[in-house]
Amino acid sequence: MARRLAKLNGLDLAQISGTGPHGRIVKKDIEAALEKGVGKAATSASASAPASAAPAAAAAPSGMSSDQVLKLFDDDSYELVPHDGMRKTIAKRLTESKQTIPHFYVSVDCELDALLALRSQLNGAAPTDKDGKPAYKLSVNDMTIKALALALRDVPDANVSWTDDNMVKHKHADVGVAVSIPGGLITPIVRQAEMKPLSVISNEMKDLGKRAKERKLKPEEYQGGTTAVSNMGMMDVKDFSAVVNPPHATILAVGAGEQRPVVKDGALAIATVMTVTLSTDHRCVDGALGAELLAAFKGYIQNPMSMLV
C-alpha cells in the first residue's frame, strides 16, 4: 500500500523515514510526507543515477544483505548464529560450482536384493579377533563406493577433471564420501578404490568417518579425488541431486533402499530398490557417457559377485 501510494504521488521512498516495524515505511508515513511536502522524487540527471547503479546491485552474488533479511522479522523472533570458517568455505565453493559448472542429471533404479544377500554372507564369514570382534562389517555404502570406482575403471572417459586447457584423465578412481559433521560436511577420500577389497574400503571409511567427525583429518585425506558419493539413504531420502564438487566431474547421490513393486517376466513382484542420481559436469561428461557410467554402476550393484573378482 505504501509503495503504491508513493508511486501515485511521485514520492521517493529513500527520502522518507519509516515508523513501522524495523523502520518499514507504512501508509501513515506516506500521508505525513504528503502533508509536509517532502519526499518528492528527483528528476532528470539526479533521477537517473540510482537507476544506473541498480544492475550492479542486482548482480551481487551474496543475495539479500543482513539488514534486508532482518527487516522482515520482529526483533524477538530470531537469534543470530555467526558463520564459521567451514560454513563460509562450503557456501563459497558450492556457489562457484553452480555458477561455473553446467550440471545435468541422470537417475536409475537399482535392485538391491542380491547385494544385501551377499553383504550378509560376507559379514557372517568375517573372521573375529580374540574378543569376538569381526575383522570388518560391510555397509551398503562401502559396496556403493566400490561399485562406482569399478564403473569409472570400466568407463575411463568419465573419470576426468575439467581445466580450461586440458581434460585431466585420471588413472585411478579416488572416491570422496560426504560425511556430515557439526556445522557442515567434509569429504574424506578412499584412494584407488577400484583396487581395494571391500573389507579394506569398509575399515578405511570407518576410520576416515570417525576422524572426520573429530575434525582430525589431514588435508591430503579430503582434498582432491576424482568423484564423490553422497548417501542420504540412512535418512530415508528417496532420491535427490547433489552438487558437483570441483575438481570432480561427477557425484553420485544415493537414496534409501526400499521395497517397491516391480515387474519381472511379465508378473508383479516385490524388490528392494534404491534410486541413484548422477550429477555431472557437462563440459567433460556428456549425456551418453553419463548414462554409460550409470549402467556400469548398476551392473555391479545388481550383480555384486562381480565386485569380488
What confidence tens digit (pLDDT) does each residue in 227-284 have? 999 999 999 999 999 999 999 999 999 999 999 999 999 999 999 999 999 999 999 9
69 within a domain of the structure (yes/no): no
d(CA 90, CA 68): 23
223 within a domain of the structure (yes/no): yes
Domain shared by 169 and 278, yes or no: yes
Domain shared by 11 and 112, yes or no: no
Domain shared by 41 and 120, yes or no: no
CATH of the domain at 216: 3.30.559.10
pLDDT score for 54: 40
Identified catalytic residue from 22, 103, 170, 282:
282
Total domains present in the chain: 2
pLDDT score for 142: 98
303 within a domain of the structure (yes/no): yes
Q: Are 106 and 290 in contact (CB under 8 A)?
A: yes
pLDDT bucket at 53, cuts 50 / 70 / 90? very low
82 within a domain of the structure (yes/no): no
Which percentage of the chain shows pLDDT scores above 70? 91
Domain shared by 286 and 160, yes or no: yes
Active site residue 282: yes
Domain shared by 17 and 125, yes or no: no
Q: Which residue has the cell 543475495?
A: 63
Least confident of 24-38, 53-67, 134-148, 186-200: 53-67
pLDDT score for 154: 98
Domain shared by 55 and 95, yes or no: no
Domain shared by 138 and 283, yes or no: yes
Residues spanned by the domain of 39: 2-63
Highest mean pLDDT among 23-37, 90-104, 292-306 belongs to: 292-306
Residue 167 phi/psi, 5° resolution? -95, 120
Helix (H) / strand (E) containing 289: helix 287-302
Q: Where are the beta strands (DSSP E) in the chain?
A: 103-111, 160-162, 167-169, 175-177, 179-181, 184-186, 189-190, 227-231, 250-254, 258-264, 267-281
188: Cβ contacts below 8 Å, ≥ 6 apart: 176, 177, 179, 205, 208, 209, 211, 212, 217, 221, 222
33 within a domain of the structure (yes/no): yes
Mean pLDDT, the chain, whole residue set: 88
Rounded to a whole number of angstroms, the distance between the first and last alpha carbons of the chain is: 72
pLDDT score for 141: 97
Q: Is the pLDDT of residue 208 over 80?
A: yes
Q: Which is nearest to 243 in space by CA: 85, 103, 99, 62?
A: 103
Any idea how long the chain is?
309
Q: Is the pLDDT of residue 136 over 50?
A: yes
Q: What is the pLDDT of residues 71-91, one digit of tens each?
A: 889 888 989 888 888 888 888
pLDDT score for 63: 66
Q: Is the pLDDT of residue 55 over 70?
A: no
193 within a domain of the structure (yes/no): yes
77 within a domain of the structure (yes/no): no
Enumerate the β-bridge partners of residue 228: 176
Domain shared by 238 and 134, yes or no: yes
Domain shared by 116 and 20, yes or no: no
Domain shared by 205 and 164, yes or no: yes
Output the CA torsion sign for 196, 140, 147, 176: negative
Domain shared by 303 and 157, yes or no: yes
Over residues 191-198, mean pLDDT: 98
Domain shared by 48 and 102, yes or no: no
Q: Which is nearest to 108 in space by CA: 247, 283, 265, 300?
A: 300
